[in-house]
Each structure stands twice: as C-alpha cells, then as structure tokens.
Amino acid sequence: MNNYPAMSRKSVRFLIPILSILTAFAVSALIIFTAGRDPVMIFQKMFRATFGSSYGAGQVVFRMTTLVLAGLAVAIPFKVRLFNIGAEGQLQMGAFAAAMTGAMLPACIPSSAAIFLCIMSAMMAGACWALVAGVLKVRFGVNEVIATIMLNFIAQGITGYLLTYHFALPSTVHTAPIIASAIIPAFDTVTGWFAKSPANLSTLLAAGVALLFQIILFKSRFGYEMRAAGLQPEAARYGGINAGMHTLIAMAVGGAAAGLGAANIVLGYKHYYEAGMTGGVGFAGIAVALLAGAHPLWIMLSALFFGVLEYGGLTVNAYIPKDIFMIIEAITIILVIAFSALGRRLQQQ
C-alpha cells in the first residue's frame, strides 16, 4: 500500500548524512595525503586510540555526552523554527551555576540530594538564559539568532567577571571545588568501565533525556502541537495552538538541556568552574543537531561521530595537526546542508 513518495523521502533523509560523512572523509584523506601523511595510517591510529582502548572509549563517551545535550539544546528549538546559536552561553551559565551550587552546599548533605540540586541549578540557569532570547522573540520580535549570539557574549562576560573578581581561588582561574557528595560518579568507580577516563553516569542521563524528547516530540499531544507550530505556524493559530508559548517552552527546554550538558563537565569531570571550560562545545552542538536532522535519537549517533573526531584528532596530533578534523567536521555539515537542498530539489522534479 505504500505507493506514495514518503518512503523515498525517508530513505533520502537517512542517506544524506551517511553520504556527507563519507565524502568528508574522502576529502580529508586527500588533505592528509597532500600534507605528506598516509591517510590510512592516520585513520587506523585514530580508531585504535578511540575504540581500541577503554580509556579512549571513555574519552569519546564523555565528549559525546556533552555533545548529545548541546545538540538537543539546538534541536528542540529547531522544531519550532528557532535557530538557537546560544547553546554555548547556556552551557557557560549552567556550568557556573552547577559549580557555585556544588561549592556552597553544606558537606553533610546526602549525595543524591546534592547531585539533584546541582543538576537542577545548572538546568535552571541554562533554561533562564535561553528564555531571555525566547521572550525577546515573542514579546518584541527580536530575531533569536542575533539575540542568542549576543547572549553568548554576555554570558561570557558575566561568568568571566564573577570568576575573576569574586569566586576564583587565589592565583588560579577556577572556583572552589564542589563538595564530594555532589560529584557524579565516573563509570570507572561504579562499574569499572572506561578506566580512569572522565566518562561518568551523566551519559545515562543524556541518553534518557534524548529518549524522553523523542517520546514527547513524536508520541505526546504536546509534541503534536509543537511540531505543528513549527511546520505551519498560521495553521497552528487556526487550530487553537499557542505558538508563542511553544516558542518559549522550546527555548527553555533547549537551554535546560545545555545546562545538563554543563553538569556533565562540572559534576562529572572537573568538579569546579574554570575559565573557557566549555570550549565551544555549544557551537559543536549546532553541527550535531544539523547532522541528525534535529532528530533526538539520531543526535546520539551524530554526537558519537563528533566525539570520535574530537578526541581522535587529539590522539593523532603528533602526526597531523588536529585542525584536519575540524575541517572534516565543517565539511560534513556543509555537505549535509547542500545534499538536503539537492535532495529536496530532486524530489520536486
């Protein structure tokens, strides 16, 4: 009975990312070759260093976790046609809030409560920061791209100021460490996996959140309304759907996801806030979301891919500058966008 073009549409959606990744690898192989190195050797070393050792795998899993959440921070607003460039700022605010809460809690508080409070404060901080852009959009019609970019600068300024002038430990660039009970345990200490790597139980949280978003978006009445508001805002108005509310919620939820991503870094790895600790992962989230077509479950795979590139690039840095892997990332994204446009045009013909 499936004699309508939707099936081919689905297969195209699946093909595009694969094709983009393969092409990007081919192009990078060419670049590595021109740089005087054997691409096969480089890729081999890279895969051995990431999937071949439990430490390397742990590094990848740790990076992937933040990337999943940063990707969701971009993807959820994307569903209501908002481009959240501000995941970086939301991560910074979340990271700072988590570190401050963790450092200020009394040491006697039970671990589960401490972790819960720290995560909540990180998510609240991220959500509030994203909501600023949402309110500007709904109330005053300020373009969310511009608002979130500016909010990134402001977040950088606020955290930088607070750190330098108020909360940094003397002669360091980080805050006081969080209390021991607020630390999210590493896989190493709980299950013995990923020896000594920063991979921690936040990964389970991130997977749960992705699954939850998947269910809410595609199985719930709320998601039905939200996707409708994104696909055809005018029809949504006629159907009695409050598109402005969905804008606000999508931004807040996205910001909360970014905050949770920050919790992975602060509570699971560093245990304090440090200048520049988010390191542009919020921007990488844009790439993660785009590659996955803003689909919560595909974001897990897409984040894995970028996690491998990010850590893998570091491991072969001795042979080839890790900038090569930034090139792969960027080419992949450009190709995804170009191929999607091409696919749409082919379908129309």
Partner 1 sequence: MGVAVRLSDISKKFGSFSANSNISLAVDEGTIHALVGENGAGKSTLTKIIYGMHQPTSGEMQIKGKTVRFTSPREAIKAGIGMVHQHFMLVPELSVAENIILGNEQCGLFRPLPMKKCSALILKDADAYGLAVDPEALVASLSIGEQQRVEILKLLFRHAAIMIFDEPTAVLTPAETERLFATLRSLRDKGKTIILITHKLDEVLAVADTVSVMRKGEIVGTMPASTATKSELAQLMVGRSILLRVTNPLPSPGDIILSINHLGFCRANSEERVHDLSLNIRAGEIYGIAGVEGNGQSELLQVLWGLAPAGSVISGEALLKGKSLIGKKPADIAFMGVSHIPEDRLRHAVIGDYTVSENLLFGRHREHSFHQGIGFNTHALDRYAESMISDYAISCSSPAHQPLSTLSGGNQQKVVLARELNRPAISLLILAQPTRGVDIGAIETIHNKIIEARTSGVAVLLVSSELEEIIALSTRIGCIYKGSIRHEFTLEEVVHKREAPHAFQKEIGLHIT
Angle between helices 281-291 and 54-79 (to 10 degrees): 70
Separation CA 312–CA 302 (nearest Å): 15
Q: Specify the residue, 5 or 276, whose C-beta has the smaller distance to partner 1.
A: 5
What distance in Å separates the CA atoms of residue 31 and residue 330, rounded to the nearest whole number? 14
Least distance between partner 1 and beta carbon 122 (Å): 26
- Closer to partner 1 by CB, 80 or 265: give it: 80
DSSP 200: B
Q: Six-digit token pair at 91?
A: 């991560």
Q: Is 274 helix (H, G, I), strand (E, B) or coil?
A: strand
Supply the minimum distance, in Å, between the C-beta of residue 300 and partner 1.
22
| Least spacing, CB of residue 6 vs partner 1, in Å | 6
Residue closer to partner 1, measured from CB, 41 or 231: 231
Q: How far is the CB of 204 from partner 1 (least distance, A)?
A: 22
Binding footprint of partner 1 on the chain (CB under 8 A): 1-6, 215-216, 219-222, 224-225, 228, 231-232, 234-235, 237-242
CB 133 within 8 A of CB 144: yes
CB atoms within 10 A of CB 143: 13
CA distance 35 to 215: 46
Nearer to partner 1, 3 or 112 (CB): 3
CA 218 to chain centre: 20
For residue 229, give the amino acid letter: A
Please identify, using beta-carbon distances, which residue of 5 and 321 lies nearer to partner 1.
Answer: 5
- Which residue reads 């200020």 in tokens? 104
Question: Least separation, in Å, of the C-beta of 138 and partner 1?
Answer: 12
Closer residue to partner 1 (CB): 196 or 237:
237
Please report, for residues 77, 251, 258, the alpha-carbon distance to residue 131 in angstroms, rounded to integers and kept in the order given: 11, 6, 12
Q: How far is the CB of 32 from partner 1 (least distance, A)?
A: 41
